């Protein structure tokens, strides 16, 4: 029986600018008696990554544009926050019921361009998504390899709402070392029927699984290790693999 | 460190009509040396449930309506399959690029009303979603309690595409014994910031986590056990908790 384990990485310090996440994670895993192993999948929340990268914005230093002020008034939100969200975005996709859904510069469609207010010291500071989340993931993966000698996969996770369901789940916004979609088209089922449409977004499922331990501690645990999941290695993984080409999207 | 384990339930027979799923799962878990424990979460794929409930449709016995034939021609699909999908649906939400997205009688919005062609013996047979998936989940939970004496949660899972991302993930369509949304509004974060929007759809995250073992065996494993996740018990859980009220949905 191939069991999968999901382990929180405890005892990490509060992440500050220039923190070496790969090293911190490797050492914390070692300290708690679960040293990183070959083939582990390391899931890191985007806020931890943005903090380590110094990608934190002080809303008091933002001058909102007239457009941001109009939207902020319409939505009864902070104009500086709206300005930050718009700067992170290519376009507004939906506005309503207190939600501002945009397409980010990365091509992600999500609420508030992924700009996060929680777990950042200072009520007036926010964390946008990492500038290049795949690169962030690759760097953490590289550092873990240097520190531990182990080849792992790294996923950067974010909490997203869904268009068609209530509640948020965790999905991957940065990917390194793992094929994010398991393409099962052409495989046969129990009775020899050929699967025609199945492309499982395993990177998203792994981030949801990691949240089951990450979400238990008021965000005091920004990292989880998933062990025992056999995945397809690649050096070419990207968030783009998880995005619909616009012309195929039925709901945008 | 509170680790979570995800275990496949191996050695289940091919599920036939009137199969006693609760008993079969309890005994298979026992046989493989991981007997069910208090507080486990049992995730079962909907096809296994529909098969046990005899909810399998032979397309050769379906007479498609003129409307189904029109849509089938437009989409280049089997008219009998389209007829089954329409019978399971309240309304068509989107059509295009080979996808037929409907709202099912349960209020779920998904491709093909959730009607599944794989893992059913006979090329011309399909499995719709269970008629009342919450009731199906409650029955399995009750039987596991009778057989093992243990109080567990049961989730019935299905593979769904997403409106705004490529690839499919697994989500919950039937729920028993567990609160499907963890409402974190009002909790404070690391720095005392009060979370304002977080409602984590943990039932969906649990089904995604379970797929990591279920998906490895060409669907030969329809059940997983998740152990070590502390959840809020309830007798009142329902799929409805995971559905948007229509007036609040921005993408329908």
The complex's ipTM?
0.95
CA-angle at B186, arms to B182 and B188, nearest 5°: 100
What pLDDT shows up at residue A242?
A: 96
Report helix, strand and coil shares of chain A as percent, to nearest 5.
30, 25, 45
Residues of B in contact with A120 (CB under 8 A): 191, 193
Question: What is the spatial distance between Cα B202 and Cα B195, in angstroms, rounded to a whole number?
Answer: 17
What pLDDT shows up at residue B218?
A: 62
Provide the 8-state DSSP code for A98.
T
Phi then psi dihedrals of residue A81, to 5 deg: -65, -45
What pLDDT shows up at residue B196?
A: 66
- Which residues neighbour A233 within 8 Å (Cβ) at sequence distance 6 or greater? A151, A153, A177, A178, A179
Question: What is the spatial distance between Cα B206 and Cα B201, in angstroms, rounded to a whole number?
Answer: 9
Task: Identify the CA nearest to A164 among candidates A250, A246, A45.
Answer: A250
Q: Do A163 and B249 touch (CB under 8 A)?
A: yes
Task: Count other Cβ atoms within 10 Å, centred on residue A56.
Answer: 18
Q: Do B250 and A96 touch (CB under 8 A)?
A: yes
Q: Which CATH number fits domain B57-126: 3.40.640.10, 3.40.50.620, 1.10.260.40, 3.90.1660.10?
A: 3.90.1660.10
Using the predicted structure, report yes or no on whether residue A188 has a pLDDT greater than 90: no
Where do the structural domains in chain B lie, given as residue ranges? 5-55+130-245, 57-126
Summarised one tens digit per residue, pLDDT across range B169-184 is 999 999 999 999 998 7
What pLDDT shows up at residue A218?
A: 62
What pLDDT shows up at residue A141?
A: 98
Cross-strand pairs, B227: B5
Q: Do B193 and A242 touch (CB under 8 A)?
A: no
Go through A66-92 and write b for each residue having 16 or more CB atoms within 10 A of its CB, e for each that does not. Answer: eebeebbeebebbbbbbbbbbebbeee
Task: Identify the CA nearest to A106 among candidates A140, A84, A132, A135.
Answer: A132
Residues of B in contact with A2 (CB under 8 A): 8, 213, 216
Residues of A in contact with B168 (CB under 8 A): 197-201
Using the predicted structure, report yes or no on whether residue A245 has a pLDDT greater than 90: no
Average pLDDT for residues A146-159, to the nearest whole number?
Answer: 97
CA-angle at A113, arms to A54 and A60, nearest 5°: 55
Task: Identify the CA nearest to B188 among candidates A207, A123, A8, A129.
Answer: A123
Structure tokens at A97: 């019921």
Query: What is the 3-class SS of chain B, one letter each residue?
Result: CCCEEEEECCCCCCCCCCCCHHHHHHHHHHHCCCCCCCCCEEEEEHHHHHHHCCCCEEHHHCCCCHHHHHHHHHHCCCHHHHHHHHHCEEEEEEEECCEEEEEECCCCEEEHHHCECCCCCCCCEEECCCCCHHHHHHHHHHHHHHHHCCCCEEEEEEEEECCCCCCEEEEEEEEECCCCCEECCCCECCCCCECCCCEECHHHHHHHHHHHHHCCCCCCCCEEEEECCCCCCCCCCCHHHHCCCHHHCCCC
Using the predicted structure, report yes or no on whether residue A219 has a pLDDT greater than 70: no
- Low-confidence residues in chain B, pLDDT < 50: none
> How does residue A186 score in pLDDT terms, banded at 50, 70 and 90?
confident
Q: Do B163 and A163 touch (CB under 8 A)?
A: yes
Q: Which CATH superfamily includes the segment(s) B5-55+130-245?
A: CofE-like (3.30.1330.100)
Residues of B in contact with A5 (CB under 8 A): 3-6
Q: Do A251 and B202 touch (CB under 8 A)?
A: no
What pLDDT shows up at residue A131?
A: 96
User: CA-nearest residue of chain A to B241?
Assistant: A166
Question: What is the spatial distance between Cα A185 and Cα A194, in angstroms, rounded to a whole number?
Answer: 7
Class of domain A5-55+130-248: alpha beta
Beta carbons of A199 and A183 less than 8 angstroms apart: yes
User: Rounded to an integer, what is the distance from CA B205 to the centroid of its chain?
Assistant: 12
User: CA-nearest residue of chain B to A241?
Assistant: B166
Q: Do B159 and A198 touch (CB under 8 A)?
A: yes
> How does residue A223 score in pLDDT terms, banded at 50, 70 and 90?
very high
* Type and span of the H or E element at A74: helix A66-75
Q: Do B218 and A1 touch (CB under 8 A)?
A: no
Task: Identify the CA nearest to A9 among candidates B174, B229, B1, B247.
Answer: B1
Q: Which residue has the tokens 């240097």?
A: A146
Using the predicted structure, report yes or no on whether residue A205 has a pLDDT greater than 90: yes
Q: Do A191 and B120 touch (CB under 8 A)?
A: yes
Closest partner residue to B8 (CB to CB) among A2, A193, A242 is: A2
Percent of chain B with pLDDT over 90: 80
Summarised one tens digit per residue, pLDDT across range A53-104 is 999 999 999 999 999 999 999 999 999 999 999 999 999 999 988 889 999 9
Backbone torsion region of residue B100, taken as left when φ is above 0, otherwise alpha when ψ lies between -120 and 50, otherwise beta: beta
Give the three-class secondary structure for A3: coil
- Shortest alpha-carbon distance between residue A178 and chain B (Å): 14
Closest partner residue to A6 (CB to CB) among B3, B163, B168 is: B3
Question: What is the spatial distance between Cα B8 and Cα A1, in angstroms, rounded to a whole number?
Answer: 7
Q: Do A193 and B159 touch (CB under 8 A)?
A: no
Q: How far is CA A129 from CA A2, A58, A64, A110, A181, in A?
A: 35, 15, 19, 11, 22
Structure tokens at A123: 């009520």
Task: Identify the CA nearest to A44 among candidates A247, A193, A211, A250.
Answer: A211
* Type and span of the H or E element at A29: helix A21-31
User: CA-nearest residue of chain B to A208?
Assistant: B205
Q: What is the CA radius of gyration of chain B?
A: 19
User: CA-nearest residue of chain B to A190?
Assistant: B119
Give the three-class secondary structure for A75: helix
Mean pLDDT of chain A: 92
């Amino acid at each position: 029986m191939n069991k999968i384990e999901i382990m929180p990485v405890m005892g990490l310090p509060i992440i500050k600018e220039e923190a070496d996440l790969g090293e911190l994670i490797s050492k914390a895993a070692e300290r708690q008696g679960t040293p990183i192993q070959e083939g582990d999948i390391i899931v890191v929340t985007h806020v931890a990554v943005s903090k380590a990268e110094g990608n934190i914005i002080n809303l008091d230093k933002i001058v909102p544009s007239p457009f941001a002020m109009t939207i902020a008034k319409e939505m009864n939100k902070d104009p500086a926050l709206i300005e930050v969200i718009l700067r992170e975005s290519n376009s507004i996709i939906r506005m309503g019921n207190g939600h501002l859904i945009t397409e980010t510069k990365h091509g992600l469609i999500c609420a508030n361009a992924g700009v996060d207010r929680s777990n950042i010291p200072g009520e007036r500071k926010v964390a946008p998504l990492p500038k290049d989340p795949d690169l962030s993931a690759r760097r953490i993966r590289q550092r873990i390899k240097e520190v531990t000698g182990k080849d792992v996969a790294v996923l950067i996770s974010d909490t997203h709402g869904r268009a068609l369901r209530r509640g948020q789940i965790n999905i991957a916004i940065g990917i390194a070392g793992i094929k994010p979609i398991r393409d099962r088209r052409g495989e046969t089922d129990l009775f020899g029927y050929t699967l025609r449409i199945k492309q499982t977004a395993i990177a998203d499922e792994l981030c949801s699984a990691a949240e089951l331990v990450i979400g238990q501690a008021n965000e005091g645990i920004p990292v989880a290790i998933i062990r025992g999941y056999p995945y397809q290695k690649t050096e070419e993984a990207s968030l783009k693999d998880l995005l619909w080409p616009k012309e195929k999207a039925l709901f945008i």
